[in-house]
Amino acid sequence: MYDSTVINALKDVLIKRDETIAVAESVTAGFLQAALSSAENASNFFQGGITAYNIGQKARHLHIEPIHAERCNCVSDRIAAQMALEVTQLFASDWGIAVTGYAAPVPECSINDLFAYYAVSYRGTLKAVEKIKAKKDDPMKVQVFYVNQILNDFHRLMMKDKNQSSFSINDLNSINSKFASAGPLSTSPSIE
């Protein structure tokens, strides 16, 4: 189900660097946590995670901005970024990964295409914010697809030169504007 080759490669890199990771999930409903915890000696690098499925819980535990969250049904690049930054604080980890999105259509919200936003943070700095698109399928298969895509992307990110800027999003200025206009977050993000 999960890409064990990538999971073990991530484990090896994180343990070698003496770094830890925590995750905040919505659309993947704990599958990202399950994938990381499936590695041998997971407790040596995996701090834990939180699955927060609604706006109330995301605001309470991950300090997302509730007015923006209400407008976007809690699915946006900004929400994923806030979640990734906050989960590192919540679990005292070096790395944070967060994901929010749709694994099934939501016709009442005019959501017919499946997609998720994920973000990666490292010691208070956003390293990546991306959108993943999925084909319509069984929701559980879509969730597993998201998990494997995120872990593969995270592995590639970790393999890049640490001095190289690795923040990638289609419109960097757009997300910077969103953070600036949102006022201070409980964690002050910096974007490389």
Residue 29's CATH number: 3.90.950.20
Domain range for 169 is 4-191
Amino acid occupying residue 61: H
Per-residue pLDDT band for 171 (boundaries 50, 70, 90) equals: very low
Per-residue pLDDT band for 192 (boundaries 50, 70, 90) equals: very low
> Of residues 162 and 145, which shows the higher confidence score?
145
CA atoms within 13 A on the CB side of 28: 31
Per-residue pLDDT band for 75 (boundaries 50, 70, 90) equals: very high
The reported pTM is: 0.84
Q: CA-to-CA distance for 146 and 42, rounded, in angstroms? A: 21
Burial 63-98 (b: 16+ CB within 10 A, else e): bbbeebbeeeebbbbbbbbbbbbbbbbbbebbbbbb
Per-residue pLDDT band for 172 (boundaries 50, 70, 90) equals: very low
pLDDT at 174 (0 to 100): 52
Amino acid occupying residue 13: V
Residue 170 has pLDDT above 80, yes or no: no
Number of structural domains found in the chain = 1
Task: Provide the 3-class DSSP secondary structure of residue 53.
Answer: coil
> Average pLDDT of the chain?
88
Per-residue pLDDT band for 162 (boundaries 50, 70, 90) equals: low
Per-residue pLDDT band for 77 (boundaries 50, 70, 90) equals: very high
pLDDT at 178 (0 to 100): 53
